[in-house]
Structure 1
């Protein structure tokens, strides 16, 4: 099989374009020119060649037609030719479309866009619409590193405001763009002027956003409330007001605004999303988030993307992340890593810890000496209930897997998918569909033979910071894969339910947590199984609490968090979970859990922002 030829450079594409032009082959000249524009959109030679092609073809527009599959370079070339033909507004429309497609490219950094005379040749209302299109294509705010390609549009806005200083819509649109690009003072100035000239709902919204970005909350709220006065039926503004109030700790007032919106339309998506998020903030009841997940599933055609569910789950145990393990063994592992791999002289255990913990730590710190001085009752080497799915066998206090290693393909699949964080449980379920084709034997084998971390930044971080977290990731995703096993089977008698239930009642282990999380996830995505899963979670937590009366249970805190993440769990189980969480001395020192995760999240996470309405 022949190798793909290397991609051409902009200079090479231009050379081919000029050669085709000299031969009179205008179609191929245009194709190579479009390719060069993508590679070097501001290169003077590119634009000089485009001018030659236009001159040779009587304008060149026919060489760069638009269509459903138009090449982005052809779209940009046509934009420049439209501007040269005295149709700059149409050209700007196409440049903005290119910016929306590839916002990090300097499509607009060309002289005709930043020409001070351009704005005067544009209708001010059309110019405002063009700036609004730029805003719709840009994040809010635009990260500093991504602002340069949008600066030519802000220069156009400055020139347009200078040319039409009393056009309210233009002032507001210019304010919205300035705010996104960090020019907050300018945004406030322009929006204020626009509102004074022609008070309107949209103008007040732009002003409210500008004030909010400037940290002037009281004035922002006043502007948004005036917007409601202009249009009491625009419920998105109610949600904006509620979000702003909540961000400043005024939760009761925020909920008041959301209740007003829902009284007008109980199905309005922005209000529903905000309501559930704020109610969860108020009382911590996961039922609000489950209801939001249900609403999102049942209303796939919302007005725009919402992130309230992901925001609410972010950084919360099991709702948005794997909880780091606790116990003496992983504490010794973290101390060894902090000491550049030098282990303590010995770890003395009064009772056995989970087999995954024992094997992970001894593998990561080969020189660590572990002494188990006793085996407390109930015996942690025995399953909590009779099961046919026994993953571990013991020789004294040493555990070994009972299953063979999984296939290389299965290990690679999990290595590609496993991650310690997810937006919310339904998103984790959806992502795990990539494991649906794995055999049951492979999925179970992955639990006791987790693959090596991937050769990626994530893998290097986990290896260096906490190898135990990677093992837990692999186990969690293998259990999520079990949820996709034979989905044609009815839940109550399905293989996936039977295996997961056997896993939660097996030997106390990290696998118990992973399997229980998979069951909880099933309840999030399928209301029909919620009562069943809630009952299983209640039974398993009650058993943990009973065992914890006699000996330490390192997985108890994690299972308590899982119970609090379970849809439709009963109040008695919720109260028991809270009691386990406030008894860290018996249940596993959760403070260390939080510190371990924070060390990792400084490297793994990027800050996400809740999008506001376009404008």
Structure 2
């Protein structure tokens, strides 16, 4: 600014606010920019992909120009991108006059966008950064005490930051002012956050009476009941939703999750994975499959095991630097669920099969579960071939020869993943896994095969029973090796 380069100064200020949104020195310099003709707004244009710091700078300049109602949505947009940063912790946001200046309908939209950007409840570190927006809502509610949408959206924000008493109060007032499906949903969620289950269920049932075709409410009721141990009632609500629309994504996800919770049958999760694959355009992101897989060996990550010697990968050329680089980019000890592991390995299609086998023969040091990811990479080659006649199947079966080691485990897991993503592979993979289980049942280290068997779709009941029995037997500690070729797996 001292040498007459305001554009460059503006870039630095936007970067500074990105790291420290309330930095006094940055705001002092913004005050100097505000004295320029036009209030300095030309230095922070609303261009596509503008950074959060640029949005905040423009918001503060608008407030300095006497237009805080125009600046608040920009601050809220920055908070939506980086909810944990204190974008709104400035005096002009907490000024009661702002609640009078901003249009209540615009404030409703702003609050709802904020709620969408954070969890329910919001993480503890985020709650403090959202409180200034709740103050604006308080000031606006004082002026518009019967504005149902403002009361409901304010309630949604209040419950996310732990203000459950206020959330219930505003939601009750909103539902009383203008009864509607949305008002009852807000009320039901507020009661649920406050631990008042009967009241929450009553409100959500009233929401259903307002709109019997909104099946998302059925799923919400089912989830609420299940969370409080009423699984049979929860499944009844899911079934009611599925009777109306068997393909409604929220109901399908909830149904499979709850049925898996009820009996632990892997088939529910496999059917859910099939549904996700066949219905890519869902109404919103779901986490039911990942939630059900979490903590289960092989479904969410490589199980804990002491290292064992590598033994079956064929010797070959040294892996290329590009192959090692790509492996490092994807390798991990955990994944959300088996189809997610397959998707994560997709970039290994750029490593030819010989290169992946080289990674198996000579895995790079310090790469997590390198053998697993090399085998998953093999699944992405020759996908146009039918499973039984495919090269990927032939290679993976070849890797099963020999004893129990990390390569055979990795190859067996890749076969299991193939069964998850390709229904045509399931009968074959189940037979291979069942045979492998029978062959290794009495060997040390067979527990990992049993865990893989329990993760295998369509495994026959007898084999599943054998695998379950093996899991219940205390594992025999494996011998710990001493070189870099030994497996170092742990639970995620």
TM-score normalised to structure 2 length: 0.88
Give the number of equivalent residue pairs.
481
Name the counterpart of 2:17: 37
In structure 2, how many angstroms separate the alpha carbons of the residues matched to 1:591 and 1:99? Answer: 52
Q: How does 1:14-413 map to 2 (within 5 A)?
A: 17-20=1-4, 26-325=6-305, 330=306, 357=308, 359=309, 391-392=311-312, 403=315, 406-407=318-319, 409=321, 410-411=323-324, 413=326
CA drift at 1:107 = 1.7
Do structure 1's residue 493 and structure 2's residue 378 form an aligned pair? Answer: no
Residue matched to 2:486: none
Does the CA-based 8 Å contact 1:433-1:484 persist in structure 2? yes
Partner Cα separation in structure 1 for residue 314 and residue 339 of structure 2: 32
Contact between 2:372 and 2:410, CA under 8 Å: does it hold in 1? yes
Larger Rg computed on CA atoms: 1
CA displacement at 1:118 relative to structure 2: 1.2
2:337 paired residue among 402, 409, 424: 424
Determine which of 428, 431, 438 is the counterpart of 1:535.
431
Question: Do 2:111 and 2:153's aligned partners in 1 also have CA atoms closer than 8 Å?
Answer: yes
Partner of 1:337: none
- 1:574 is aligned, of 461, 465, 474, to 461
Q: How big is the shift at 1:270? A: 0.9
The answer (yes or no) to whether the contact 1:406–1:443 under 8 Å persists in 2 is no
The 1:283/1:275 distance shift into structure 2, 3 A limit, reads same
Give how far 1:415 is off.
Answer: 4.6
- The residue aligned with 1:558 is 448
- Aligned residue number for residue 438 of structure 1: 351
CA distance in 1, matches of 2:356, 2:51: 44
Moved more, 26-35 or 41-50: 26-35
Residues 537 and 175 of structure 1: CA distance in aligned 2, closer, same or farther (over 3 Å) = same
Following superposition, the deviation at residue 242 of structure 1 comes to 0.6
Q: Which runs of 5+ in 2 are unaligned?
A: 479-488
Task: Tell me how far apart the structure 1 counterparts of residues 331 and 29 of structure 2 sit (CA, whole Å).
Answer: 49
The answer as to whether partners of 1:561 and 1:577 remain within 8 angstroms in 2 is no
**1:18 & 1:155 partners in 2: Cα distance?**
38
- Call closer, same or farther: CA 1:61–1:184 in 2, change over 3 Å: same
SS in structure 1 of the partner of residue 261 of structure 2: helix
1:33 Cα deviation after fit: 3.9
Q: Which residue of 2 aligns with 1:3?
A: none
> Residue by residue, what CA displacement relative to the aligned partner does 1:205-245 show, whole Å, maximum 9, x if unpaired?
12221222222222221221111112212111111111111
1:317 Cα offset (Å): 2.1
Helix, strand or coil: the match of 1:534? helix
Residues 260, 86 of structure 1: alpha-carbon distance in 2 compared, 3 angstrom cutoff: farther
CA distance in 2: counterparts of 1:245 and 1:591, whole angstroms: 41
Secondary structure, counterpart of 2:97 in structure 1:
coil
Q: Which SS does the other structure have where 1:323 is aligned?
A: coil
Residue 386 of structure 1 corresponds to which residue in structure 2?
Answer: none
Q: Secondary structure at the match of 2:301?
A: coil
Is this contact kept in 1: 2:454–2:468, CA < 8 A? no
Deviation digits for residues 412-445 of structure 1, max 9, x if unmatched? Answer: 5545533222100011011122333335455345
Rounded to whole Å, the distance in 2 between the matches of 1:190 and 1:560 is: 54
Secondary structure in structure 2 of the residue aligned to 1:504:
coil
Q: Deviations over 1:302-346 (max 9, x none)?
A: 121100010111111221122233xxxx4xxxxxxxxxxxxxxxx
Aligned to 2:409: 513
Q: Do the aligned partners of residues 220 and 57 (structure 1) sit closer, same or farther apart at CA in structure 2, a change above 3 Å counting?
A: same
Shift of 1:180: 1.0
Q: Structure 1: 5+ residue runs without aligned partners?
A: 1-16, 331-355, 361-390, 393-400, 455-469, 594-598, 605-615
The 3-state SS of whatever aligns with 1:117 is: helix
> Retained in 2: the 8 A contact 1:321–1:421?
yes
Any conservation in 2 of the 1:18–1:29 contact (CA below 8 Å)?
no
Cα distance in structure 1, aligned partners of 2:230 and 2:206: 19
Taking the aligned partners of 2:125 and 2:215, their CA distance within structure 1 comes to 34
- The CA deviation at 1:295 is 1.8
Counterpart in the other structure of 2:370:
474
Q: 1:88, 1:523 → 2: CA distance?
A: 57
Task: Output the TM-score relative to the length of structure 1.
Answer: 0.72
